[in-house]
Amino acid sequence: MINPVPPAAIFIIAALLVPLFKGRWKSAYMLLIPVVGFINLISIPEGTHWVVRFLDYDLVLGRMDRLSIIFGYIFHIISFIAILYALHVKDDVQNVAGLIYAGSALGVVFSGDLFSFFVFWEMLTISSIFLIWARRTRAAMGAGFRYLLVHAAGGLCLLAGIVLYVNQTGSIEFGYIGLSGLSSYLIFFGFGVNCAWPFLHPWLSDAYPEATITGTIFLSAFTTKCAVYALARAFPGTEALIWIGAAMAGFPIFFAVIENDLRRVLAYSLINQVGFMVVGIGIGTHLAINGAVAHAFNDILFKALLFMSMGAVMYRTGKINGTALGGLYRTMPLTCLFCIVGAASISAFPLFSGFVSKSMVMSAAGDGHMRVVWFILLFASAGVFHHAGIKIPFFAFFSHDSGMRPKEAPLHMLLAMGIAAFLCIFIGSFPGPLYSMLPYPVDYVPYTIPHIVGQTQLLFFSALAFTLLMLAGIYPGEQRCVNLDADWFYRKGSRLFYLIMDKGLNSLNKVSDRIFVGGLAGFFGYISKRGPEILTLGALTPLWGITGAKGKELKDKIETTRTALHTHTSPIGISAALATVFLVVIFLLR
C-alpha cells in the first residue's frame, strides 16, 4: 500500500516531467495524472494531513473535509476532461501550465493555513497567465498583461490582509474569517478579484476569450471556483455577498446579449453563474451553501462543455464571431448536440444538471423571503437561457448559413465533450450522488411539479421572447467590435494616467534636466575647471598693473599664468599666495 501524497503535488511534479515524453506516451502520461490523482484523493481520509512546521507556524497541506473534498473531486474530473480535449496540443508551455494550474487549484482547496493557501493562490495566477500568452497573438499578450496586473493587485491586497490578520490573531489557520476589521476586508477584496465581482471582473471577459482553445477550458474551471471555495470557507453568511452575487448574476446578461465573440459571451455567462454561487454563500444557510457548492460543481462541467464546443468550432473554422459563423450543424452534428446539452444544462432545463443546483440557491433566497434577490435571480435565469442557452448554439450552428462546411471535431475532443455531456445529463437526472457529497446533509427535492412547471414556463417564455425579438427585428445585431464595460475605466483611465504622467512628470523631468543637468552642473563644471584661473587672474592682474606691467609684458604674464594653471604647474609663489588668500578668507569668515 502506497501512502497518499498531497493532491497538488501529483499534478505539479508530474507537470515538470511532461516535456520528457513524446507522442502517444505523452498523451497516455498526461491522461494518467488526474487518474492517479483521483485514486490518491479517494484514499485520503477526512481530517488534517501533512502538517509541516515552518518558523513558528504549522503549515497544513491537506485539510480534508466535505467542502474541500467535493472541489477536489470536480477538479480531478475536469482536469481529465480538459487533458483529453487537449491531446492534439504539442505545445509544452500549454501542457505544463495547465497541469500546474490544476495542481495549484488543488493546493488552494486543500490548504489548511493561510500561508500555503496564498502560495498556491499566486501559483494559480502565474500558471494561468501562460495559458493566455500561449496563444501568442498581440491581443492575447495584452490581455495577459492586464490579467497579470489585476491579479497582482488582488494578490497584494490578499497578502496585506493575511499579514494583518495573522498579526491580530496570532494564527495562520484558514477557516471562518467574517467581515470585521481592515484585515478581513482586504482578504475579502482579494477573493473578490478572483471571483470577478462587478467592476473587478473585466479581467475575465477580457482574457478568457483571448486564451488558447484548450487553455480556456482550464481557465473556466479553476480561478473563479477557487474564489467561490475561499468565500464559502471564510465568509459564509456575509450579507454583502448576497447583493454582490445578485449584481454578478444580473449585469452580464446585457453585455452577453450584444457580444459578438461567442467565447466572450460564455465568459459573461461564467460571471453570471458565479453570481448564483456568491448569493448562496452570502445567504449562508445549509441549503444555500449546498446550492452554491453543487452549482460550482455543475458549472465547471457545463461551462467547460460549452467552451469545448466553441473551441471545436474555432479549431475547425478558425472563427468564433457570431457574424462569421452559422449553419455548422450540417457538418458538425455531434459538436452541435454536445453544445445543446451544455446550453440546456446552464439554462437549468429539467433533467439537466443546472436544474438540480441552481434551484437550491433560489429556494434558499425564497426561504429567506428575499424577494428582490429572488427576482434578480429569476431574471438572471431567463437571461442566461437567452444568451448561453439559445444564442450560443443558434449563432454557431444554425442562424444564417456561413457557407462553411468544416469537418466534425477530432475524436478526442468529441470524447471529452461526450463525457462532460454525459455527466451533465446524469447529474440532472440522478442528483443523489452529487447531493451525497455536499458539505451539509441535503433535504431538498428538485423534481416537484411546481418547480418543473415554473422552470419550464420561464424557459419557454424566454425562448418566445428571443423568437419574437428576432422576428420583429428588435434583437440587436452582432457587430465586429470590442465592447467595453467596466474595463473602460482602466483602458481609458490608463490613457489618461499615461497622459498625466507624460505631460506632468516628463515636463518636470525636462525642467529639472535643464536646470540641474544642463544649467547648474554645467556652471559648476565650468567653475571647477576655470575657477582657479578666473580667481587668480582676477586677483593678480590689478596687482601686476600697480607694479608697472603693461602691454605685451602684462599679456605674457597673464598667458603664462593661465597655461600654468591649465597644466597644474603654477609657480609655488602663486600657490602660496592663493593659500594665503584662502586662509585670510577663512579667518574672516570665522
Partner 1 sequence: MTEERSEEIEGKMELSHDPVPGYRTIFFVAFAVGILYLGFILFKTL
Binding site for partner 1 (CB under 8 A): 135-137, 139, 212-213, 260, 314-325, 371, 395, 399-400, 402, 406, 461, 464, 468-475, 477-480
CB of 495 to partner 1, least distance (A): 23
Decide whether 210 or 485 has the Cβ nearer to partner 1.
210
CB of 367 to partner 1, least distance (A): 16
Decide whether 233 or 264 has the Cβ nearer to partner 1.
264
Question: How many CB atoms neighbour CB 570 within 10 A?
Answer: 20
CB of 233 to partner 1, least distance (A): 36
Decide whether 228 or 376 has the Cβ nearer to partner 1.
376
Cβ atoms 291, 280 nearer than 8 A: yes
CB of 88 to partner 1, least distance (A): 10
DSSP, residue by residue, 48-109: EEEEEEETTEEEEEEEE-HHHHHHHHHHHHHHHHHHHHTTT---HHHHHHHHHHHHHHHHHH
Decide whether 301 or 409 has the Cβ nearer to partner 1.
409
Decide whether 451 or 557 has the Cβ nearer to partner 1.
451
- In the block, cell 492534439 appears at 88
Tell me which residue of 532, 530, 546 sits closest to 577, measured CA to CA.
532
Tell me which residue of 267, 289, 266 sits closest to 276, measured CA to CA.
289
Q: How far apart are CA 543 and CA 185, in angstroms?
A: 80
CB of 324 to partner 1, least distance (A): 3
What is the b/e burial string over 426-455, where b = at least 16 CB atoms within 10 angstroms of the residue's CB?
A: ebbeebeebbebbbeebebebeeeebeeeb
CB of 399 to partner 1, least distance (A): 8
Decide whether 319 or 562 has the Cβ nearer to partner 1.
319
What are the grid coordinates assigned to 190, written together? 482579494
CB of 405 to partner 1, least distance (A): 12
Decide whether 468 or 576 has the Cβ nearer to partner 1.
468
For residue 496, the surrounding DSSP H or E stretch is helix 487-500
Q: Residue 55: left if φ>0, alpha if ψ -120 to 50, beta else—which one? A: left
CB of 103 to partner 1, least distance (A): 24
The SS3 of residue 171 is: coil
Q: How buried is 498 (Cβ within 10 angstroms: 0-12 exposed, 13-18 middle, 19+ buried)?
A: exposed
- Which residues, at least 6 apart from 306, have a Cβ–Cβ distance to it below 8 Å? 266, 269, 339, 342, 343, 346, 388, 392
Decide whether 315 or 352 has the Cβ nearer to partner 1.
315
List beta partners, residue 321.
261
CB of 216 to partner 1, least distance (A): 11
Angle at 542 between CA 536 and CA 548, to 5 degrees: 125
Decide whether 351 or 463 has the Cβ nearer to partner 1.
463
CB of 125 to partner 1, least distance (A): 24
**End-to-end alpha carbon distance in the chain:** 90
The SS3 of residue 296 is: helix
Q: How far apart are CA 194 and CA 300, in angstroms?
A: 16
Question: How many CB atoms neighbour CB 577 within 10 A?
Answer: 16
Decide whether 319 or 557 has the Cβ nearer to partner 1.
319
Cβ atoms 426, 356 nearer than 8 A: no
CB of 91 to partner 1, least distance (A): 9
What are the grid coordinates assigned to 438, written together? 455536499
Decide whether 184 or 462 has the Cβ nearer to partner 1.
462
Q: Which one-letter amino acid corresponds to residue 268? A: Y
Decide whether 319 or 491 has the Cβ nearer to partner 1.
319
CB of 114 to partner 1, least distance (A): 39
Q: How buried is 24 (Cβ within 10 angstroms: 0-12 exposed, 13-18 middle, 19+ buried)?
A: exposed
Q: How far apart are CA 260 and CA 321, in angstroms?
A: 5
Decide whether 302 or 315 has the Cβ nearer to partner 1.
315
CB of 137 to partner 1, least distance (A): 5
Q: How far apart are CA 358 and CA 345, in angstroms?
A: 10
Decide whether 27 or 321 has the Cβ nearer to partner 1.
321
CB of 220 to partner 1, least distance (A): 17
**Pairing mode, strands 57-64 and 47-54:** antiparallel
C-alpha dihedral over 310, 391, 423, 232, to 10 degrees? 100
